[in-house]
Amino acid sequence: SSPDSDGCTPELEKAGLLNKTKIAEGGRKLRKNWNPSWVVLVGNSLVFFKDPKSQTPASWKPGNSRPESSVDLRGAQLHWANELSSKKNVFKLRTVTGNEFLLQSETDSLIREWYNTIQNVIDRLDRE
């Protein structure tokens, strides 16, 4: 049987490296600060970790794999947002609490996969 045969462990849907910047906190605009982020979609949440490659070997210890932040996708909104950046392949994720993130990848197919997978989770939660 699968490790989640009891249905209690949230399902890992997707994980990978994206460029990320937070542009609003509770509806209040923030200054952009793009950084690579290890992004994990699990259950109803998008979880962000610091890019291990941007850390020194000494700083990369198990204790440091603590998430940087996490986003509840229930009620969230997703939009392509190339007008919000000079970078290509940018989408905006807005949470119900008014936090806004831009996520970006140089790889077209990769960013489309992320967009579709996140949108599917949002749609699933909307139907619950």
Residues that bind ligand I3S (CB under 6 A): 32, 34, 85-87
Alpha carbon of residue 55 to chain centroid: 19
Smallest separation, CB 102 to ligand I3S (Å): 7
Q: To the nearest whole angstrom, how small is the minimum distance from the Cβ of residue 112 to ligand I3S?
A: 19
> Nearer Cβ to ligand I3S, position 59 or 107?
107
Rounded CA separation 22/69 (Å): 11
Nearer to ligand I3S, 64 or 107 (CB): 107
User: Are 118 and 127 spatial neighbours (Cβ–Cβ below 8 Å)?
Assistant: no
Of 37, 33, 26, 20, the residue nearest 98 (C-alpha): 26
- Measured from the CB atom, is 14 or 87 closer to ligand I3S? 87
Nearest distance from C-beta of residue 1 to ligand I3S, angstroms: 46
Nearest 5°: the CA angle 18, 50, 20 is 35
**Closer of 40 and 84 to ligand I3S (Cβ):** 84
What is the nearest approach in angstroms of ligand I3S to the Cβ of residue 97?
22
Kind and range of the H or E element at 124?
A: helix 108-127
